[in-house]
Amino acid sequence: MYRTKTCGELRIEHVGQVATLCGWVDSYRDHKGVVFIDLRDRYGITQVVFQADTPTDMQTIARGLRSEDVIQVTGEVLARGAGLENPKLVTGQIEVRGRELTLLNKSKTPPFEPRTQDLPNEELRMQYRYLDLRRPVVQQAIILRHKLAKATRDYFDRHSFLEIETPILGRSTPEGARDYLVPSRVHEGSFYALPQSPQLYKQILMVAGYDRYFQIARCFRDEDLRADRQPEFTQIDVEMAFVKQDDILSTIDGLMAHLLKELRGEELPLPLPRLTHREVMEKYGSDKPDLRFGMELICLMEIAENCGFTVFKNTIANGNRVRGIVAPGAAEKYSRKQIDELTEFVKQYGAQGLAFFRVKEEGLDSPIAKFFSAEDQQKLIAKLGARAGDLIFCVADTAKVSSAALGALRNRLAKELALYDPKEMKIAWVVDFPMFQWDEDEQRWVAEHHPFCQPHEEDIDILETDPGKVRAQSYDLVCNGYEAASGSVRIHDPAVQQRIFSMMGIQPEEAELRFGFLLEALRYGAPPHAGVALGLDRWSMMFSGTDNIRDVIAFPKNQKASDLLTGAPAPVDAKQLRDLRIKVDVPVK
């Protein structure tokens, strides 16, 4: 062993002992006669001191130490004198008086130091990710992620779940995200697909009798990245047999309570709230609402349809929506210029414009206030529950666009106005998602969740006649505006499965060709089953209080899906391509 103690554990009670520490030089202070080294490892920082009576050769080494050099130090643990303690360090009551010093490895001058307060840009952090990972806040996030995974395994183990691994090299199936493909050398011209999720395998495990399965599974989706999306990510994947929707929900309720308890020491009241998809779309304009604050969307149809403002009136006449939100106390906080920025913001979501009203004691102040009678203005204020000093925003558009625009505006305003405690976690279920969504481009119905999802029993009759109204037995767990888990009751009746495929324009022959192995499995005594998958990365984000998924992944990809540390992806040797019978045909720009 190179060390007897870590840099985070020495305390006043260790005074008098001799300890050997190893770590990185976090900072050095050379006072000629006395040299201080702040030594860092992942457990903390301990001050090492070399005094005037230190042998000369060791003083020379100590003086030459620079940031991120790796050293081993042996010395006596001393209490720091009165007034010399450092309250910023948990080890600040003591220091180690260096008696032996070994430079284990010299560091190049780092492009940035782990202790820096001014974070360099992400490009540099990712390129030197090993230096970035030395930063205590990053280490805390990585440690928290470990604890999250550990607590998850403990919980499922305690409830008789089996952790079962499923293949990474699988088969490409239609629907869903773009696959990452892996060419087969043995089968020329054929490809494996990396799993978008272990969906099919876990259903087959249910058929196979492993009635409580979970896995912390890596998933891959070749789609564009976001602050909360990586092309490879980790799911806490769960499936249970002989259960209904409620059983899954209460199982995950229990998991969440366990995690809150283990990771934050908080009690989570159960059951978690269950909101319908219809309800959250109406109130929050989003299927993953941030429930830490109110600011609900209010329907203004009654006022809009008879008001003097043609834009509102026509929107209602065309069967569309006029809805508004109230930003409390924001009337004087947003200048005209800032409101123009908000208008640009909602245009991203397809809105044509953004109506706004400053609420005054005497009525509404707005460029369009003149189109509203005094009576209509009072009705508007009353309907929205607005008060003097508030700022009202309205969007008149289709249900879809007004939801998207106002839902996004609601989140932005709440953040800017600090309407919630960023540390709080507000968790709820959203249930009864629509079974299908009409795809304009493909001119067909596509599954909102996935094609193996069981419709509500009472909606099965209208499957073919009114598919847009069919509700699925599917559910998402939402937290602070993120989709943090998603699942459904699965179809175990091959006849119902066939009808769903046919609704989506997938012919029986094609279904057999693509999903035949699953359909066949379902014919051999498939138990009723249901499942869910939680986003481990996103939960790690929320527990760490960050809004960037890269903060909780040791080696993340950048926005263009590259790994700036290793340079992946990269071209390969011609020989590798020949072995795989692959010809690359990249158009010249």
Partner RNA sequence: GGGGCCGUAGCUCAAUUGGUUAGAGCACCGGACUGUCGAUCCGGAGGUUACGGGUUCGAGCCCCGCCGGCCUCGCCA
Per CB under 7 A, contacts with RNA among 559-578 are: 559-560, 562, 564
Is there a binding annotation on residue 449? Answer: yes
Nearer to RNA, 236 or 404 (CB): 404
Q: How far is the CB of 147 from RNA (least distance, A)?
A: 24
Q: Which residues pair with 543 in a beta bridge?
A: none
In whole angstroms, how close is the CB of 330 to RNA at the nearest point?
Answer: 21
Choose between 396 and 564: whose C-beta lies nearer to RNA.
564
Strands 94-105 and 44-50: parallel
Q: Which is nearer to RNA, 303 or 478 (CB)?
A: 478
Does residue 230 have a known ligand-binding role? yes
Single residue of 175, 296, 305, 365 touching RNA by CB under 7 A: 175
CB of 186 to RNA, least distance (A): 26
Q: Which of 6, 36, 135, 278 binds RNA (CB under 7 A)?
A: 36
Which lies closer to RNA via its Cβ, residue 370 or residue 469? 469
Should residue 38 be labelled a site residue for RNA when binding is judged by CB under 7 A? yes
Helix axes 336-347, 399-416, angle to 10 degrees: 140
**Which residue's entry shows tokens 């490892």?**
41
Closer to RNA by CB, 169 or 177: give it.
Answer: 177
Reported as type and span, the H/E element at residue 511 is helix 508-522
448 in contact with RNA (CB under 7 A)? yes
Residues from 390 through 409 that contact RNA (CB under 7 A): 404, 408
DSSP 3-state assignment of 274? strand
- Residue among 366 and 474 whose Cβ is closer to RNA: 474
Task: Decide if residue 224 touches RNA (CB under 7 A).
Answer: yes
397 a known binding residue?
no
**DSSP secondary structure letter of residue 553:** -
Kindly tell me which residue out of 3, 42, 80, 456 binds RNA, with binding defined by CB under 7 A.
80
CA dist list (Å): 475 to 202, 284, 489: 18, 17, 9
Among 16, 81, 209, 587, binds RNA (CB under 7 A): 81
Binding status of residue 555 toward RNA by CB under 7 A? no
Cβ closest to RNA, residue 290 vs residue 376: 290
Give the nearest distance from C-beta 245 to RNA in angstroms.
Answer: 16
* x-or-dash string of contact with RNA, 366-385, rule CB under 7 A: --------------------
Return d(Cα 396, Cα 315) in angstroms, integer: 6
Whole-number Å distance between alpha carbons of 267 and 425: 12
Find the binder of RNA among 85, 163, 232, 305 (CB under 7 A): 85
Number of residues that bind RNA (CB under 7 A): 74
Report the alpha-carbon distance of residue 549 to residue 551 in Å, rounded: 5
DSSP string, 442-500: TTEEEESS-TTBPBPGGGGGGTTT-GGGPBBSEEEEEETTEEEEEEEEBP--HHHHHHH
Does 536 carry a binding-site annotation? yes
Nearest approach, Cβ of 588 to RNA (angstroms)?
A: 12
377 or 474, CB closer to RNA?
474
The strand order across the sheet containing 482-489 reads 162-163, 212-220, 232-241, 529-535, 482-489, 474-479, 427-431, 274-276
Q: Spell out a b/e string for 314-331, using b for 16 or more CB atoms within 10 Å of the CB, else e.
A: ebbeeebbbbbbbbbebb
The smaller minimum CB distance to RNA, of residues 84 and 317, is found at: 84
Task: Give the residue, chosen from 15, 18, 34, 496, that forms a contact with RNA under the rule CB under 7 A.
Answer: 34
* Least distance (Å) between residue 53 CB and RNA: 8
* Pick 205 or 380: Cβ nearer RNA: 205
My answer on whether omega of the bond before 508 falls inside 30° of 0, hence cis, is no
Q: What track of x and - describes contact with RNA for positions 460 through 499 (by CB under 7 A)?
A: ----------------------------------------
Strand pairing class (232-241; 436-439): unpaired
Helix axes 399-416, 277-284, angle to 10 degrees: 60
- Which helix (H) or strand (E) element contains residue 40? strand 35-41
Q: How far apart are alpha carbons 249 and 270 in whole angstroms?
A: 11
Residue 323 marked in a binding site: no
**Region near RNA per CB under 7 A, out of 171-179, 206-214, 245-253, 257-265:** 171-179
Contact map string, positions 44 to 73, toward RNA, x by CB under 7 A: ---x-x-xx-------------xx------
The residues with which 47 forms a beta bridge, in sequence order, are 38
Which residue in this structure is represented by tokens 């980790």?
Answer: 234
**10 Å Cβ neighbour count for 166?**
18
Q: Which segment (269-277, 343-351, 374-382, 495-503) binds RNA by CB under 7 A? A: 343-351
Q: Cα dihedral sign for 412, 417, 419, 425?
A: positive
| Residue 210 binds RNA (CB under 7 A) | no
Task: Mark the binding-site residues for L-aspartate, compressed into ranges.
Answer: 175, 221, 449, 490
